[in-house]
Amino acid sequence: MLPNHTVQFEKYSSIALRGDVLTREECREVLSTPNSEILGLLHAAYAVRKAFAGNTVQVQMLTNAKSGSCIEDCHYCSQSSISTASIDRHGILPEDKLVEDAHRASDSKAVRYCIVTSGRGPLDHEVDVIGKAVRRIKQNLPLQVCCSLGLLTKHQAYRLKDAGVDRINHNLNTSERYHSDICGTHTFQDRIDTINNAKKSGLEICSGGIIGMGEGDEDIIDLALALRDIGPDSIPINFLHPIEGTPLTNCNTLTPQRCLKVLCLFRFLHPRKEIRAAGGREYNFRSLQPLALFAADSLFVDGYLTTPGQPKNEAWKMIEDLGFTIAE
């Protein structure tokens, strides 16, 4: 007998709405939903999104506060030691520029401004610069500030918290099993340790992953379940935008439907969390981009670290056309 997809989809949303967890088999079913049934799956994910996040969309803008010249070998990253990609390289931006970019974020209707640096972890003088900028930003703008600075010691995490940083982004990226296939210079456990250091200092946590790096369904399910153990406040789901000069340049396997199924899985497994259709949204969802917001409730505007993205005016229009509103 053919599966009754409508009944299945309703079951997933009921499980999520009552706070239970999909079984591994149910997770597999979500990821293997036939493309022809994608609207039914999205409808079920939207019921969960609507229950906990309403129809609002959280907008964020990031600044590439230090670019390139990293000693790590993350295979997806254009800034790594093994990448030959042609990218802009610069040291930490001056404090004034970080503050200026925060004003740009505020003008972009962003609820959160993300300061991102390349490298294994920040140098102490970089934490100084960022801390001074964040103090000024928090005094003058109604913005939340998130920092994504690589591996953090406890001391660095406390210093950032003390300066007024709200949230730390540190992604698990993929499953523990697959991590060594995409990075050889630090471990999955290093990533967990940084998240724990940030948590202990009272910082909120943003942690997600990257889809489309050659991982299988089991890895995506493992990642989503590992994030349940961490309990981040926000979960950015990045979709690989293969960049020439990186080892994953030919890893071009994602389809818009696959991306939507992944977002739906994360919504069912993390019903109350802010889920972001993050890097690679424009490249991978193509004309189906608006549909991502029926499962996700958060996005970036005005581009990413080394790739351009949807300009803010177009993102605002997309949100309005969907009948959604931008979170204040």
Residues near ligand SF4 (CB under 6 A): 70, 72, 74, 77, 79-80, 118-120, 150
Question: Minimal distance in Å, beta carbon 71 to ligand SF4?
Answer: 7
Question: Minimal distance in Å, beta carbon 174 to ligand SF4?
Answer: 12
Question: Minimal distance in Å, beta carbon 3 to ligand SF4?
Answer: 39
The nearer residue to ligand SF4, 221 or 240, going by C-beta atoms, is 240
The nearer residue to ligand SF4, 74 or 327, going by C-beta atoms, is 74
Question: Minimal distance in Å, beta carbon 148 to ligand SF4?
Answer: 8
The nearer residue to ligand SF4, 150 or 309, going by C-beta atoms, is 150
Place of tokens 């790096």: 213
Displacement of CA 102 from its chain's centroid (Å)? 19
Determine whether 328 is exposed, middle or buried from the number of CB atoms within 10 Å of its CB (0-12, 13-18, 19+).
Answer: exposed
DSSP character string of 239-299: E----TTSTTTT-----HHHHHHHHHHHHHHSTTSEEEE-TTHHHHHGGGHHHHTTT--EE
The nearer residue to ligand SF4, 118 or 174, going by C-beta atoms, is 118
Question: Minimal distance in Å, beta carbon 83 to ligand SF4?
Answer: 8
The nearer residue to ligand SF4, 24 or 120, going by C-beta atoms, is 120
Question: Minimal distance in Å, beta carbon 305 to ligand SF4?
Answer: 8
| Residue 151 per-residue DSSP state | S
The nearer residue to ligand SF4, 80 or 144, going by C-beta atoms, is 80
Q: How many CB atoms lie within 10 A of CB 47?
A: 19
Helix (H) or strand (E) holding 61: strand 56-66
- Taking Cα atoms as reference points, which of 149, 53, 64 lies closest to residue 101? 64
Contact 138, 106 (CB under 8 A): no
